[in-house]
Structure 1
Amino acid sequence: MVLELLFSFAFFYPVAMSFFWVVGGLYYYLRRERNAPPRDQPPPLAESPMVSILVPCHNESANIGETIASLLAQRYPHFEIIAVNDGSDDDTGPKLDALAEQHPQVRAIHLDRNLGKANALRMGALAARSEYLVCIDGDALLDPHACHWMAWHLCSGPRVGAVTGNPRIRNRSTLLGKLQVGEFSSIIGMIKRAQRSYGRLFTISGVVSAFRKTALHQVGYWSDDMVTEDIDISWRLQMNHWDIRYEPNALAWILMPETLRGLWKQRLRWAQGGVEVLLRHGLKLFTWRRRRMWGVMAEYLLSLLWATVMLAIIVLWLAGMVFPLPPALRVDGLVPGWHGLVLALICLLQFAVALLIDRRYEAKIGRYYYWMIWYPAAYWLLSLATTLTAVPKTLLKRRGQLAVWTSPDRGYR
């Protein structure tokens, strides 16, 4: 009986989540995307308030020129660019100074040591002249109309505290790169659509987002001791009743890991960030005024429970290979059989729906559907491993330790 319950939950949880994401994503598409104007014709603004674009960077010499060039090409009438050099030990600083001399819209701020992305964002926000802040990583390329789309949301209502954009993979030369193209469409994009439809977002995309400075000031800006400052600021804004919007037309082309080691380090950091946020803010959500965050917390708690159940199944299987177990606890094998086939078909259906929606943003994205047949097992196994590793790592982390920059694997280009 116990084993049946474990296997049932291990199987039905991914099925239920795929259904949840597909239904929510389709609802969002039909309500908000299907009849939206084209990406290059964003809704007009009664007035175009100034936007401050913040670019926190650490050792971005190879990419910062491209990033600033994409920002200077924004089709928005009134903006400034604030690049924060956070203790780089390459020639990022001199390159930023040269760009600032060449372009009056660019300002460079230099910090003498590596204090982390959250601190760099805070310094940029305090130096910004605008109430509206667009934040982008130092290795990303912003679509020319992205600022307009995000500013439109911030101008649409006084309680809109943040807008998350739509990251797109630009390095696609390996199998890992191709798999992540589908992942960002069918997993990350669909999750944001579904969560926006049902209530609250688990996190903005830290690589491309926009904020109202008043909202940031109220919650104390970004936390410099959280490994994922984007998850933390998302929870704190929504706990204080600020709305976070998702804008799929706000595209940013990003570099992602294309090695197993780089992917593992990135996803472990994401998993650790989720655990940190839950430990710090979870108990604060048990009030009626914050009930709209309950769904986000429940979804995350279920993912942790699923990882624990999968670990229990694996342990029982290994134990059964060493010594005899009672029939109720014996696991004969980990090959999922027909359950795995059903799960794979449901995941492929989810991928198909997501890629059809995303043709609006990439006309030829359907060519990556072929590669997604490998992804269901890879995604859930990676999620399982990173979650199980992140929990003890977070519990053992020294509280208050600064989350400083580490140079990531940016793949092959």
Structure 2
Amino acid sequence: MGLGSLALILLLLLDGFANGAVGEAPRHEPKSQPPPAPEAVTSGGPVVNMAGGTPHSMRTPPKTIALTFDDGPDPTWTPRLLDVLKRHDAHATFFSIGAHIARRPALVKRMIDEGNEIGSHTYTHVDMATAPAWRDRLELDLTQRALAGAAGVHTRLVRMPYSSRPDGLTAPEWRAAERAGRDGYLLVLTDTDTEDWQRPGVDKIVQSALAAEKDGRGAIVMLHDAGGDRTETIAAVEQMITRLQARGYRFTTVSRAMGLPPADVPATTSEKAIGWTLVAAQRTASALTDWMRILFVIAGVLAALRLAVLLVFAHVHRKRARRSPLYRAIRPRDGTAPDASAAPPVSVVVPAYNEEAGIAATVRTLVDTDYPGPLEIIVVDDGSSDRTAEIVERLAPPGVRLIRKPNGGKPDALNVGIAASRGEILVLVDGDTVFQRDTLRHLVSPLAADPSVGAVSGNTKVANRKGVLGKWQHLEYVIGFNLDRRMFDLARCMPTIPGAIGAFRRRTLVSVGGVPTDTLAEDTDLTMAICRGGWRVVYAEHALAWTEAPSSLRQLWRQRYRWCYGTLQAMWKHRRALVERGPFGRRCLLYLTAFQVILPLFAPAVDLFAVFGLVFMDPVAPLAMWSLFALAQVAAGGYALWLDGERLRPLWTMPLQQVVYRQLLYLVVVQSVVTAVLGTRLRWHTIRRTGTFGGPGLDLGRDADPDLGPGSHAGIAAP
């Protein structure tokens, strides 16, 4: 995972560096005019040979035109220019940008094969007059390597970006040219700068290029084959060649015009190999950037669609829940006493392993219930090494049984408790969870009302939410988990009844063989088996259970790592549901695969690309997209909190949650997938409890701290 991230970063950086290659454009001019180059250069010809340390200028012979094209090769305009040259048996010199050479090696080979020559225009179109000497050397060296990899040659020619005629050469530009000359380069300037990059019109480009026609002089003509729309340039070149060839002019390369040896020098085998590596890396980086741009848009669209769908389903679920008798089967007849006639016998099973910090609060709240029917509570001590069993025995409330057994894991403890229970309805509760007085009644109501309902998911709340990490988890539970469950309820494809709070028919559990013991997410595995068995699983939003969430990033990582790995196990175990009759496989498994596996796998790369876009591209698009998405998330979060009767105060942490917390969860998915692919078995990770519910005077009344639960307007209270 680390090597993959590093490779991605390096490729994006390479493409970011290469994207400094832009078309001809005004540079940042210095505040004061720099001094000119030596007079021997400014008054000389456009080709300067600096061999031996002394500049020697050369001029183009009469009736000779050396067309030069800067900034390419471009996949659109360069081939069209080559077609024009070939049609008129003319040749030219292309001063190409190294990054473009690396991206389009086939086009470079065509240039050379058709008798044209290549010169260096640096790797990223850097201003050599203002760049440090090491940057200039790097730019020229990378361009040579790109040429070696693309066409198997080096070049002797260089044209500095932003240079033009000799009489416009400044002292800083000359110093850069001297450095290049010491490395064996021949400096090529121009006699005529058509400024075609400004698109002045075909006639003006032709007029500029034909300035030497009056007295039969030769000229080096500067044009461009990239950096924008070059339609005018192509039309002008066609007219130039047609008119001047009719008057006896020849169109050739700079080297041939000056009677010099060919500019293209064959590269050695090792230089070709190094160049091929650079070309491959640059092309990969360029393709990766293109794909990342597409992925960035796809991820944004999918996330927005998912958010919109979740909100629509949440609204519909709320309206149906208010009208449906499913959630009101067990209610007070006259507003004071519950109706015991509709309440089936319930057995609550609490598996507990080293839960001394919170088991007392769990048992007390289970006993203190307004559920009107027969109730038994079974605490299964799974070989705890602390005082869990002792605390339960000391409490000894009526209707509570303690079962001790050797440590065998949570699923085994649940199955032991289920086997020892007598109730028609089984409520499975974690040992770190507390209920409100009406929780059992709301949780069991759908089972009492509809015999097709095989299981019910409750509404899990984070109790320890005072810190930023707690608030992030609280938002995740309300916005992520509970909005999902509302949608899954309506779509009849619930994937998970949380271990903290769930109710099941006994015959439903028997039909699927009890709680499975072969995955780390036994709650997800069990729920998927129930859905595949044809039972309906619903979500009871008013059945509240308060749980203690991890209080440190390390504990959170371990918990989510187990959850994610176990979910992957369960999805793989139930993969045949995709081809079975019923909505579960095609709705639930495909949704989980898309939004809880594939999208999180690519999300870190998408986020890296967003940072890349801020640094190397136009930052407006990624900033606007992120801001819009953050606003949409906050709005959706506000609606989800309102649905759950929660205060909106934690929303201020949401933008930061998108930057920090979300990345952590994505990395958990990446590590879980890698672990699963490698076939490594993950053991159960125990979360250390801090005793959120263990303090004196546990109160579930309306005077609870509002930071620990919903406000009084919800009609419910928090611990």
Question: What is the TM-score with the length of structure 2 in the denominator?
Answer: 0.51
Residue of structure 1 equivalent to 2:576: 283
Residue of structure 2 equivalent to 1:151: 444
1:382 to 660, 664, 679: 664
CA shift, 1:252, in A, is 0.9
Tell me how far apart the structure 2 counterparts of residues 254 and 144 of structure 1 sit (CA, whole Å).
Answer: 15
Residue of structure 2 equivalent to 1:48: 343
Residue of structure 2 equivalent to 1:301: 593
- 1:39–1:249 Cα contact (<8 Å) kept: no
CA shift, 1:311, in A, is 5.0
Check 1:222–1:398 CA distance in 2 against 1; reply closer, same or farther (3 A cut). Answer: farther
Q: Give the 5 Å matches for 1:257-276.
A: 257-276=550-569
DSSP 3-state at the match of 1:5: helix
Tell me how far apart the structure 1 counterparts of residues 296 and 579 of structure 2 sit (CA, whole Å).
Answer: 30
Tell me how far apart the structure 2 counterparts of residues 300 and 331 of structure 1 sit (CA, whole Å).
Answer: 34
CA shift, 1:138, in A, is 0.8
Listed as ranges, the gaps of 5+ residues in structure 1 are 321-329
One-letter amino acid of the structure 2 residue matched with residue 15 of structure 1? A
Tell me how far apart the structure 2 counterparts of residues 47 and 196 of structure 1 sit (CA, whole Å).
Answer: 23
Tell me how far apart the structure 1 counterparts of residues 360 and 606 of structure 2 sit (CA, whole Å).
Answer: 50
Check 1:239–1:337 CA distance in 2 against 1; reply closer, same or farther (3 A cut). Answer: same
Check 1:170–1:317 CA distance in 2 against 1; reply closer, same or farther (3 A cut). Answer: closer
Residue of structure 1 equivalent to 2:353: 58
Q: Give the 5 Å matches for 1:16-35.
A: 16-33=305-322
- 2:455–2:505 Cα contact (<8 Å) kept: yes
Tell me how far apart the structure 2 counterparts of residues 40 and 105 of structure 1 sit (CA, whole Å).
Answer: 21
- 1:316–1:331 Cα contact (<8 Å) kept: no
Moved more, 54-63 or 175-184: 175-184
DSSP 3-state at the match of 2:664: helix
- 1:317–1:332 Cα contact (<8 Å) kept: no
Check 1:97–1:45 CA distance in 2 against 1; reply closer, same or farther (3 A cut). Answer: closer
DSSP 3-state at the match of 1:216: helix
CA shift, 1:109, in A, is 0.6
Is residue 405 of structure 2 the alignment partner of residue 107 of structure 1?
Answer: no
Residue of structure 2 equivalent to 1:138: 431
Aligned length: 394
Check 1:42–1:246 CA distance in 2 against 1; reply closer, same or farther (3 A cut). Answer: farther
Tell me how far apart the structure 2 counterparts of residues 366 and 39 of structure 1 sit (CA, whole Å).
Answer: 31
DSSP 3-state at the match of 1:336: helix
Tell me how far apart the structure 1 counterparts of residues 380 and 324 of structure 2 sit (CA, whole Å).
Answer: 38
Question: What is the TM-score with the length of structure 1 in the denominator?
Answer: 0.87
One-letter amino acid of the structure 2 residue matched with residue 291 of structure 1? P
Check 1:86–1:223 CA distance in 2 against 1; reply closer, same or farther (3 A cut). Answer: same
CA shift, 1:331, in A, is 8.0
CA shift, 1:150, in A, is 1.8
Tell me how far apart the structure 1 counterparts of residues 561 and 511 of structure 2 sit (CA, whole Å).
Answer: 30
Q: Give the 5 Å matches for 1:9-408.
A: 9-33=298-322, 44=339, 46-77=341-372, 78-99=374-395, 102-112=396-406, 114-287=407-580, 289-303=581-595, 304-311=597-604, 313=606, 336-359=622-645, 362=646, 365-397=647-679, 404=684, 406-408=686-688
Check 1:31–1:118 CA distance in 2 against 1; reply closer, same or farther (3 A cut). Answer: same
One-letter amino acid of the structure 2 residue matched with residue 110 of structure 1? R
CA shift, 1:45, in A, is 5.9
Check 1:223–1:6 CA distance in 2 against 1; reply closer, same or farther (3 A cut). Answer: same
Tell me how far apart the structure 2 counterparts of residues 126 and 245 of structure 1 sit (CA, whole Å).
Answer: 24
Check 1:314–1:346 CA distance in 2 against 1; reply closer, same or farther (3 A cut). Answer: closer
- 2:304–2:629 Cα contact (<8 Å) kept: yes
- 1:116–1:405 Cα contact (<8 Å) kept: no
- 1:45–1:152 Cα contact (<8 Å) kept: no
DSSP 3-state at the match of 2:371: coil
Identity of aligned residues (%): 29
Tell me how far apart the structure 2 counterparts of residues 412 and 307 of structure 1 sit (CA, whole Å).
Answer: 31
Listed as ranges, the gaps of 5+ residues in structure 2 are 1-289, 334-338, 694-719
Check 1:344–1:96 CA distance in 2 against 1; reply closer, same or farther (3 A cut). Answer: same
Is residue 296 of structure 2 the alignment partner of residue 7 of structure 1?
Answer: yes
Check 1:42–1:283 CA distance in 2 against 1; reply closer, same or farther (3 A cut). Answer: farther
Indicate the RMSD between aligned Cα atoms, in angstroms. 2.9
Tell me how far apart the structure 1 counterparts of residues 659 and 376 of structure 2 sit (CA, whole Å).
Answer: 44
CA shift, 1:383, in A, is 3.1
CA shift, 1:33, in A, is 3.7
Moved more, 44-53 or 382-391: 44-53
Check 1:93–1:404 CA distance in 2 against 1; reply closer, same or farther (3 A cut). Answer: farther
One-letter amino acid of the structure 1 residue matched with residue 687 of structure 2? S
CA shift, 1:258, in A, is 2.1
Tell me how far apart the structure 2 counterparts of residues 59 and 384 of structure 1 sit (CA, whole Å).
Answer: 30
CA shift, 1:202, in A, is 2.0
Offset from partner CA, 1:131-154 (integer Å, 9 cap, x none): 201111111111111111122111
- 1:42–1:148 Cα contact (<8 Å) kept: no
Tell me how far apart the structure 1 counterparts of residues 365 and 359 of structure 2 sit (CA, whole Å).
Answer: 10
Offset from partner CA, 1:373-399 (integer Å, 9 cap, x none): 322334532332111111121234467
Moved more, 178-187 or 103-112: 178-187
- 2:411–2:516 Cα contact (<8 Å) kept: yes
Q: Which has the higher contact order (CA 8 A, sep 6+)?
A: 1
CA shift, 1:116, in A, is 1.1
Tell me how far apart the structure 2 counterparts of residues 217 and 35 of structure 1 sit (CA, whole Å).
Answer: 28
- 1:54–1:121 Cα contact (<8 Å) kept: yes
Check 1:40–1:262 CA distance in 2 against 1; reply closer, same or farther (3 A cut). Answer: farther
- 2:461–2:544 Cα contact (<8 Å) kept: yes
Residue of structure 2 equivalent to 1:326: none
One-letter amino acid of the structure 2 residue matched with residue 82 of structure 1? I
- 1:313–1:331 Cα contact (<8 Å) kept: no
Offset from partner CA, 1:277-308 (integer Å, 9 cap, x none): 11111134312x13343111111111222133
CA shift, 1:411, in A, is 7.9
